[in-house]
Amino acid sequence: MASDGVEMDVEVNMNFITKDYGLVILAVVSGCILNWVLQLRVGYMRFKHKVNPPATMDETIPEFNTTQRVYMNSVEAMPIFVSLTSLSGIAYPIPAAVLAFIWVIFRIVYVLGYTFNPNYRVPGFLGSLAMLWALGILAIITAAKLLGA
């Protein structure tokens, strides 16, 4: 019942989500797992180098700084990744999942490149950026399809 005493009958139609949307969910979860691994790496580096929170950088410990920066960059990208993947997957679940899994692979390339030499981060960064652009375009196409355009 609504607050004014009027009874409301609300039905949620979940038929718009296809079975293939499960792949979208798995792709998003794979991105989350990557972030959890990166978070654990930061924790390990804090312990190894005795860098206590809330410190986020220590100019005397490049290994810790690199690990922290890789993690924070991935955290910054996650809201865009999750949003675009979830939205584009409504109408195009398989292409969205494929793009999202490729994004995760490029993020791993980014992490490995940045970890060994910050100059090597560029291929992974550009690849993951391209996947976000592709997911963004797919999300716009999804919106147009839902609007009947």
Q: What is the CATH number of the domain that holds 56?
A: 1.20.120.550
Task: Inform me whether the pLDDT recorded for 37 exceeds 60.
Answer: yes
Q: Residues 3-27: what's their mean pLDDT? A: 74
Matching residue, tokens 């030499």? 117
Q: Residues 40-63: what's their mean pLDDT? A: 91
Per-residue confidence (pLDDT) for residue 57, from 0 to 100: 87
66 inside domain? yes
Structural domain span for residue 108 = 21-146
Sign of CA dihedral 114, 116, 122, 127: negative
Amino acid at 89: G
Q: Which residues of 11-25 are buried (b: 16+ CB within 10 A; e: fewer)?
A: eeeeeeeeeebebbe
Of the two residues 9 and 40, the one the predictor is more confident about is 40
3 inside domain? no
Least Cα distance to 90 among 137, 14, 21 occurs for 21
Token readout for 49 is 């180098």
125 inside domain? yes
Per the structure, the count of domains in the chain is 1
Compute the mean pLDDT over every residue in the chain, rounded to the nearest whole number: 91
2 inside domain? no
52 inside domain? yes
Helix, strand, coil percentages for the chain (3-state, nearest 5): 75, 0, 25
d(CA 136, CA 123): 20
Question: How confident is the model over 58-93, as pLDDT tens digits?
Answer: 889 999 999 999 999 999 999 999 999 999 999 999
135 inside domain? yes
- Tell whether omega for the bond before 79 is within 30 degrees of 0, i.e. cis: no
CA distances from 17 to 13, 22, 25 (A): 9, 9, 11
Per-residue confidence (pLDDT) for residue 7, from 0 to 100: 66
d(CA 105, CA 128): 8
**pTM, rounded to two decimals:** 0.86
7 inside domain? no
93 inside domain? yes
